[in-house]
Structures are given as structure tokens and as C-alpha cells.
A and B are shown apart, each in its own frame.
Chain A
Amino acid sequence: MKKISAIIIVLFISVGSYAQNNAIAQLFDQYYEDENFTKVSVSSKMFELFTKIEPGDEDEKEILDAISKLKGLKVLAADSVQDSRKMFNEAVSKVSSNGYEELMEVKDAEEDMKFMIKEDKDVINELVMIVGGKRHFVLISLYGIIDLKNISKLSKSMNIKGMEYLKNVDGKDHK
């Protein structure tokens, strides 16, 4: 009986984590055929390749260390959509109902920006950035082992606008 309960618990956990991964996948699938959207997907192999670079100084070493721990990056972006706010709200509600914790929110006249993370044993293994503007919408999912201390440096190397806001968030202070 104990064994069966354990199996059921493991099954529930697996289904739960599958559903979490599915929240981002669902959003990408939902807009995949929509010609207004740009879709980018980068695999871990791309990041692995950067470990071959010899760092010149401590700053470069930190960037390369952070890059080497990444497993993937997905971007979904549109710069001319009518219902971007609706998309933003829908994406935020889908992601937050799937076990992602809110890390930070930035609001101004132009756009709303939300950063959400998924943790496992104090290790951040996914960072999601959702942006909704007047006509634009962006969803970025960065996964692997994420070090928030280096994320803003990393975002500069990847030219990800918005992630510079994370420069003041320390890995220990986000809770």
C-alpha cells in the first residue's frame, strides 16, 4: 500500500511539473502559426559552445560561467498587435497559475513588465519575462541554472531589453 501511495505521489509530481513546462509551451504553440509573431528558440548546445572561449578577465569569466549553465532560451515577440494588453494578462495568468513565483514587476506609461521564476531547492531553473505594451508583446523564457547576479550582464550579451532591471536583484534577496 505504501509503495502504491509513493507511486501515485511521484505520478502527481511528474504530471504537475509537466503541466508547468506546458504553460510556456502552450503559449508558444498558441501563437506559432500567427504571422505577427517572431519566434526564436535556442538550445543548450549553443550555450555549451561558448565555454570554449578563454575569458579575458573576471567579468568575462562570470558571463561565460552563467552562459554555460543555461539549457535553453525561447522568445515570442510581436511589435504590432491590437490586443497586446489582453495577451499580457492572459500570459501572466497562465504562467502564474502553473507554479511560477513573481520576482519583479516594472510598470510605466509605455509598458508592463513581469519577471517570474521557477525554483527547485533554492535553485532558479527558469526565468520568464513577460512584456505588454500598447501594441507590443514579448515573452522570454530562459531555462537552466540561473544566477540572478549575472543575469543582467548576460542579458546585455544577448541584447535582451528589459532584463537590465534585474541588475539590482540579488539571488538571495528575491524572496
Chain B
Amino acid sequence: MKNLIILLFALLIFGCDTRDSITRFSEDNHMDREYYVYPSTLRMINLEQNEDFNELIEDLVKGRYFSIEKKAESKELIDGLRADLVEEGFEEVMTFHNSKADAGVYILDARAPRIAAIIELENEYNVIDVEGMLNVTKIPQLLENFDDEKFLNIIDITQRDKNKHRVEQHTQNKQPD
């Protein structure tokens, strides 16, 4: 009897997929590169320690970003992700549409709110997942004094690293035996 109860619990735990929709999507589709940012990362890219920017992100817990190349099957995958987000309790709160991009922003109103965005561009889909809140009241001051040269472009750096890696690989492959 004891063994049967343990077995039932084990089945219940392993049988339920407790991962959230975006984690499930990225793991099941084997994203080759994901970016995770934390308040410490954002404070680091804030080279001159702009106070308004630091206050904007103070309630942010974590942010995640990945992209998926547009292929025949990716539209179906992204539609599936949209449906999964809604099933998980996310609500679509913003839509954006023009000739270059199509985006949807979703919010999960929990104790630590989550904001997800799916942005469709010409050749790729971008997925952004933010846990926590941005202090929007800091945006006016930030916009007035914003200078992007005072912020480190972390994605650009990692892309440069990726491209360098590709060039190195290509050179190695071309070397004669």
C-alpha cells in the first residue's frame, strides 16, 4: 500500500509538466542561444550609473530573450506558444502592427507580474520574458536625458563573439589537412 502511494505521487509529479510556457517552448525547441538579464546585469551596462535607469529596473527580477528563425514550421510553433501563454493565464494587453514588425505583449498578473512579448520581424520571431515590474514613472526623466553611448550594448558584444566564433570555425574548416 505504501509503495502504491509513493508510486502514485511519483507519477503525479513526473506526469505534470510544471514548466512555464516560455521555458517549455525554449527547451522543447532547443534554442541555441538565450540571453538572461538580471538587475545586476542592467546596472552593469549602465556605464555612468544613471539613477533614473537604476530606479526603472529596481523591481525587475529577471529578463530573458531568445529568437527563432522564420521557417515553414515556426509560425505554427509561435501560434502554439501564444495559445499556451493564454492558457497559462497571460492576457494580451498590447498589439503592434506595421510593415516591418508584428508584436503582441502579454501580462500575467501575479504577485511578481510577468510580461511576455512575441515580436515577429521579417526573418525571425523574438521572444521576451520579463519577471517583475518596470517603474514607468521614471521613463520621462530617462527619455529626457537618455544617451545610448552611456550604456553597454550587451547583445552586440555577444553577437560579435558569436560571429567571431563562426569565422574561426569557417577558417579552421578551410585549412588543408
B109 near A49: Cβ-Cβ < 8 Å = yes
A49 near B99: Cβ-Cβ < 8 Å = no
Cβ 8 A contact of B139, one of A35, A43, A157? A157
B136 near A50: Cβ-Cβ < 8 Å = yes
In this complex, the member of A40, A43, A49, A63 whose beta carbon has the largest number of chain B beta carbons within 10 angstroms is A49
A38-B98, A45-B91, A46-B107 in contact; A156/B143 too (CB < 8 A)? yes
B137 near A56: Cβ-Cβ < 8 Å = yes
Interface: A136 (CB within 8 A) = no
Nearest chain-A residue to B112 (Cβ)? A52
| Number of residue pairs A-B, CB distance < 8 angstroms | 64
Q: How far is the CB of A76 from chain B (nearest CB, A)?
A: 10
Q: How far is the CB of A79 from chain B (nearest CB, A)?
A: 10
A41 near B95: Cβ-Cβ < 8 Å = yes
A48-74 interface bits toward B, Cβ cutoff 8 Å, 1 = contact, 0 = none: 111011011001100110010000000
How many chain B residues touch the partner (CB < 8 A)? Answer: 22
B143 near A46: Cβ-Cβ < 8 Å = no
A43-B92, A46-B107, A49-B113 in contact; A55/B97 too (CB < 8 A)? no
Contacting residues, chain A, for B78 (C-beta < 8 A): none
Kindly state the separation between the CA atoms of A173 and B71 in the bound complex, as whole angstroms. Answer: 57
Classify the interface of chain B: helix, strand, loop or mixed. Answer: mixed
A157-B136, A159-B139 in contact; A42/B94 too (CB < 8 A)? yes
Contacting residues, chain A, for B15 (C-beta < 8 A): none
A53 near B98: Cβ-Cβ < 8 Å = no
B43-55 interface bits toward A, Cβ cutoff 8 Å, 1 = contact, 0 = none: 0000000000001
Q: How far is the CB of B146 from chain A (nearest CB, A)?
A: 11
Q: How far is the CB of A102 from chain B (nearest CB, A)?
A: 27
Q: Which residues of A contact B (CB under 8 A)?
A: 35-43, 45-46, 48-50, 52-53, 55-56, 59-60, 63-64, 67, 153, 156-157, 159
Can you report 11 A-B residue pairs in the complex whose CB atoms are below 8 A from each other? A36-B99, A39-B98, A41-B94, A42-B94, A46-B93, A48-B109, A53-B137, A60-B137, A63-B137, A157-B136, A157-B139
New contact pairs (12) apart from A40-B94, A45-B91, CB-CB < 8 Å: A35-B99, A38-B98, A39-B95, A43-B92, A43-B94, A48-B109, A49-B107, A53-B59, A53-B135, A53-B137, A59-B137, A157-B140
